Amino acid sequence: MTSTTTSQQELFRFLEDRFACAQACAECARACALRASLVDPDGTENQELVRRKGIMCAEVCDATCRVLSEQNQVDEAAIRAQLEWCRQVCLESAHVFDGHPGAEESAKSCRDCARACGEFLTTLR
């Protein structure tokens, strides 16, 4: 009987971690889309890099959130690959945002999302 309780607790913890990661991805997607929209499209090369990274990060985080929210069974290897890709894109985006005044909150959202993806990845291994 104890193993059933333990299994249920593990399942609840897994679902909580999955939801927390999806939530971090959704927050990061919103922050990055906003950051990209605030950049002057005719701006400097650095501003263009911020805009492109913001758009890419928003799209990857949105896709990751959708994968994590999927009710059907998604292949665990595919989830791992998506999480790792999201984590990497978020870290790259945070680095780019660090050099752009006013983008501190976006960089923080990216790092929070990367951390959530990394933490959730550990539950899959």
Distance CA 91, CA 85 (A): 10
Judge whether residue 90 has pLDDT over 90: yes
First to last CA, the chain: 26
pLDDT, greater one: 5 or 78: 78
Residue 107, phi then psi, degrees to nearest 5 = -60, -40
Please write the tens of the pLDDT for every residue from 29-84: 999 999 999 888 788 888 889 999 999 999 999 999 999 888 666 788 889 999 99
pLDDT, greater one: 62 or 9: 62
